[in-house]
């Protein structure tokens, strides 16, 4: 399958067969995407420990049939107030802690039997941890270092380039894309309003050609947000993208279940969700992110709920709640980033089948357009 852009070819750049990049927190899904001819990109924010990430990347090196994969690290351009998790936690108002405790109780989410390790699930959002993750990643063979929070710090870009690894960044506005390219970013992921996770106001249909026109031949552009079938891949290519970046779709992959507590309940909830069942809220991280609507997000939308805290305090506030919610395995109470595209999926399938359908439908859509 070929791309349709004057910008160069993302497949040549990344050494992949199809112009489809898949973001996922699961190494099993990432490996399957890469084996199927796309580029699996492993989200690293869940790794508090550099050795755990190291071991996971060893596993990826061994399970991708030698095909390329990428690594996504959360790197705020402006480092947040740094310190240990304990230092930061003193900044969280008691009102917020009380609200979280009360809400979890009302939703019937039990405490974790073994308690929670200090900093569990939150250190990945800190600058120093993200930087260590990049160091670990570059000791492996990533084909891409990506940052889901915009332009990475300049020295991280330089470090990746010195290792011959291209850098990708997510942009929700043209001005972000321009700054990223000025900073040396090689691949801009233009992420529309409909996307899961951190997202801006501008939708893919409007944002994608804007970003393509703004960066010209200085970077490749991937379209993200609202991509779940081949017609949407074809549409992104028609808008000028070199390829697509997909996230939410892979939450429905059979491989996702391996090793993730709560994945069965989460997948059950996603299967029953329509495109109207997401909300864009600051409750997940402190920055606006699109999530699956659930009793958890509804509780935060109630008139008596407190305003979410800024990043990274909101992460710290809800980290244990996220673990408890996952462990509770209740499809009605889910804390999971998800885009509007989730309405398209009605079954759990292996990544290889999903990829084959994507490629086939993209071909069909392009052929249909070309038939005159």
Site for a copy of itself, residues 163 to 202, rule: CB under 8 A: 173-174, 192-194, 201-202
Place of tokens 């990344």: 14
Q: What is the DSSP letter of 152?
A: P
Taking CB under 8 A as the criterion, the residue among 129, 171, 207, 269 binding a copy of itself is 207
Site string for a copy of itself, 64-103 (x = CB under 8 A): ----------------------------------------
Q: Which of 112, 264, 343, 356 binds a copy of itself (CB under 8 A)?
A: 343
Sole binder of a copy of itself in the list 81, 84, 128, 274 (CB under 8 A): 274
* Bond into 109 cis (ω within 30): no
- 182: number of Cβ within 10 Å: 11
Q: Which is nearer to a copy of itself, 2 or 111 (CB)?
A: 2
Q: How far is CA 67 from the centre of its chain?
A: 21
Cβ nearer to a copy of itself, comparing 111 with 175:
175
Query: Rounded CA gap, 316 and 286, in Å?
Result: 10
Contact present, 259 and 323 (Cβ < 8 Å) = no
Shortest approach of a copy of itself to residue 202 CB, angstroms?
Answer: 5
Can you tell me the distance from the alpha carbon of 21 to that of 13, in angstroms, rounded to the nearest whole number? 12
Q: Please report whether residue 119 would count as binding a copy of itself according to CB under 8 A.
A: no
Contact status: 4 vs a copy of itself (CB under 8 A): yes
Strands 197-198 and 289-292: antiparallel
State both tokens at 49. Answer: 């420990």
Q: State in angstroms the smallest separation of the CB of 237 from a copy of itself.
A: 6
79/69 Cα distance (integer angstroms):
27
Strands of the sheet containing 197-198, edge to edge, are 197-198, 289-292, 278-281
d(CA 63, CA 202): 37
Binding test (CB under 8 A) with a copy of itself, winner from 63, 89, 178, 203: 203
CA angle 41–345–150, rounded 5-degree value: 35
CA–CA distance, 178 with 175 (Å, rounded to integer):
5
Nearest CB to a copy of itself, comparing residues 54 and 298: 298
Among 74, 237, 270, 323, binds a copy of itself (CB under 8 A): 237
Asked if 194 contacts 202 with a C-beta cutoff of 8 angstroms, the reply is no
Choice between 182 and 213, CB closer to a copy of itself: 213
Which range, of 3-11, 60-68, 113-121, 299-307, touches a copy of itself by CB under 8 A?
Answer: 3-11
Question: Per-residue x/- marks for a copy of itself, 304-323, CB under 8 A?
Answer: --------------------
Residue 21 buriedness (CB in 10 A; 0-12 / 13-18 / 19+) = buried
Residue 337 is classified by DSSP as B
Candidate list 39, 313, 341, 358; residue touching a copy of itself; CB under 8 A: 341
Judged by phi (left if over 0) then psi (alpha if -120 to 50, else beta), residue 59 lies in: alpha
Q: Tell me the number of residues near a copy of itself by CB under 8 A.
A: 47
Choose between 328 and 342: whose C-beta lies nearer to a copy of itself: 342
Among 41, 122, 229, 299, contact with a copy of itself (rule: CB under 8 A): 229
Kindly tell me which residue out of 225, 262, 308, 337 binds a copy of itself, with binding defined by CB under 8 A: 225
The single residue among 236, 318, 334, 338 that binds a copy of itself, judged by CB under 8 A, is 236
- From the CB of 368, what's the least distance to a copy of itself, in Å? 5
- Tokens at residue 98, please? 């009380």
357 binds a copy of itself (CB under 8 A): no
Q: 161 with 184: CB under 8 angstroms?
A: yes
Binding interface with a copy of itself (CB under 8 A): 2, 4-6, 173-174, 192-194, 201-207, 209-210, 225-227, 229, 231-232, 234-240, 274-276, 339-341, 343-344, 365-372
């Amino acid at each position: 399958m070929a791309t349709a852009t004057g910008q160069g070819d993302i497949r040549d750049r990344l050494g992949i067969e199809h112009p489809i990049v898949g973001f996922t927190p699961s190494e099993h899904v990432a490996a399957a995407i890469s084996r199927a001819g796309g580029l699996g990109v492993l989200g690293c924010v869940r790794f508090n420990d550099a050795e755990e990430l190291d071991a996971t990347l060893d596993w990826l090196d061994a399970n991708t049939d030698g095909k390329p994969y990428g690594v996504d690290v959360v790197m705020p351009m402006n480092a947040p107030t740094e310190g240990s998790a304990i230092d930061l936690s003193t900044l969280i108002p008691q009102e917020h802690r009380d609200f979280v405790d009360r809400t979890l109780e009302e939703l019937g989410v039990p405490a974790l039997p073994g308690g929670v390790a200090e900093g569990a699930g939150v250190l990945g959002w800190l600058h120093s941890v993200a930087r260590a993750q990049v160091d670990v990643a570059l000791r492996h063979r990533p084909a891409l270092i990506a940052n889901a929070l915009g332009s990475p710090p300049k020295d991280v870009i330089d470090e990746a380039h010195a290792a011959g690894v291209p850098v990708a960044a997510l942009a929700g506005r043209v001005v972000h894309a321009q700054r990223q390219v000025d900073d040396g970013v090689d691949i801009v992921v233009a992420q529309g309003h409909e996307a899961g996770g951190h997202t801006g106001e501008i939708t893919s249909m409007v944002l994608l050609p804007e970003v393509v026109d703004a960066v010209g031949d200085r970077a490749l552009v991937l379209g993200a947000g609202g991509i779940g079938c081949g017609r949407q891949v074809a549409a992104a290519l028609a808008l000028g993208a070199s390829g697509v970046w997909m996230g939410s779709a892979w939450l429905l992959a059979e491989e996702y279940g391996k090793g993730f507590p709560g994945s069965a309940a989460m997948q059950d909830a996603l299967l029953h969700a329509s495109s109207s069942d997401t909300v864009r809220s600051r409750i997940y991280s402190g920055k606006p992110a699109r999530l699956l609507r659930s009793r958890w997000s509804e509780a935060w939308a109630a008139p008596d709920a407190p305003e979410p805290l800024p990043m990274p305090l909101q992460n710290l506030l809800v980290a244990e709640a996220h673990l408890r919610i996952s462990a509770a395995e209740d499809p009605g109470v889910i804390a999971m980033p998800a885009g509007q595209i989730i309405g398209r999926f009605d079954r759990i399938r292996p990544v290889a089948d999903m990829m084959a359908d994507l490629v086939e439908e993209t071909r069909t859509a392009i052929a249909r357009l070309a038939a005159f």
